[in-house]
Amino acid sequence: MKKLIICILFLALFLVVKQNSFAVPVLQLYIEGSDYDASSETWITNSPSFKLWVLGNVDGEGSHGSILGVNLVTAFATSEMGSGSTITLTPATTSLVTDPSTPSTPGTPSYGVDVAPPFPSGSGEAPAHGIYGPGVSWNLYSIGDFTLTDSPVGDVITSFPPTWTQNKGQINVYDVNITGYSLVHFDAYDHYVQGGKLKFVKAPFSHDAESSGSPIPEPSTIFMMGSGLAGLLTLGSLRNKRKTS
């Protein structure tokens, strides 16, 4: 009897681990035409103009219903801030998948300089996220609730297109244009309600997105850059340390 109970518990644990391993994340980020950099687990484009996706898994495996009050964060080197440095987000759609809904225009962003963004308490690794701190500033855009189920949502990781599942959700697409910043990192986070309680979520490390104005440098090349890129170096080195923090 004891062996039977142990076998049942082992099987249940295996099924839970398997489900969590293949579940589609609640929030994800993707950049059309970008390359997946395995070392930083980030979708990276070398273009300052691109389509950025924020994917919300609303209905299907790994989902928890509507995702409320979603925020999009853009992080960049403080040293590159100035009147000539801009990030614009224009609502759009994509032709790569079914995407019939154009998102609303993001609200006026809040911002922070050399500090972690206001990720809510209980959101796990999100407060540090391996990015934020001295030398890095950010803008935080409110992009609204994710309640729609009019787009297919799969696990967008490593390669595109992913293996689309039966999951349905909402994809917010933005035409992004960047001037004056050599690197901009994107995060998305917020919460859903389960059992009357708020549960905070974020796009996991493995589903980050980033824009770089030049080819992705090797670590040795990064350290050879001039002092004018000190803020950018801080951003990159903090990101690379995130797995150990």
User: What are the pLDDT digits (tens) for 101-144?
Assistant: 999 999 899 999 998 777 765 554 444 456 788 899 999 999 99
Please give the pLDDT value at position 230. 47
Whole-model pTM over 0.85: no
Q: Which candidate, 44, 50, 54, 32, places its Cα nearest to that of 190?
A: 54
Please give the pLDDT value at position 244. 42
Please give the pLDDT value at position 3. 53
Please name every residue paired with 190 in a beta bridge, in sequence order, or none if there are none.
Answer: 201
| Segments of the chain with pLDDT less than 70 | 1-22, 120-130, 213-245
Backbone angles phi, psi at 224, to 5 degrees: -90, -5
Please give the pLDDT value at position 16. 38
DSSP state of 61: T
Question: Using CB atoms within 10 A of its CB, is residue 166 exposed (0-12), middle (13-18) or buried (19+)?
Answer: exposed
Residue pair 84/179 in contact (Cβ under 8 Å)? The answer is yes
Q: Which candidate, 228, 153, 244, 216, places its Cα nearest to that of 236?
A: 216
Residue pair 221/46 in contact (Cβ under 8 Å)? The answer is no
Please name every residue paired with 43 in a beta bridge, in sequence order, or none if there are none.
Answer: 36, 209
Q: Which candidate, 33, 63, 181, 52, places its Cα nearest to that of 106?
A: 52
Please give the pLDDT value at position 15. 39
Residue pair 183/232 in contact (Cβ under 8 Å)? The answer is yes
Please name every residue paired with 59 in a beta bridge, in sequence order, or none if there are none.
Answer: 168
- How many CB atoms sit inside 10 A of residue 201's CB? 21
Spatial separation of the C-alpha atoms in residues 43 and 212, rounded to whole Å: 11
| DSSP reduced 3-state for 87 | strand
Contacts of 174 (CB under 8 A, 6+ apart): 51, 52, 54, 89, 90, 91, 92, 103, 106
Instruction: Give Cα separations from 243 to 26, 40, 97, 217 (angstroms).
Output: 20, 9, 32, 20
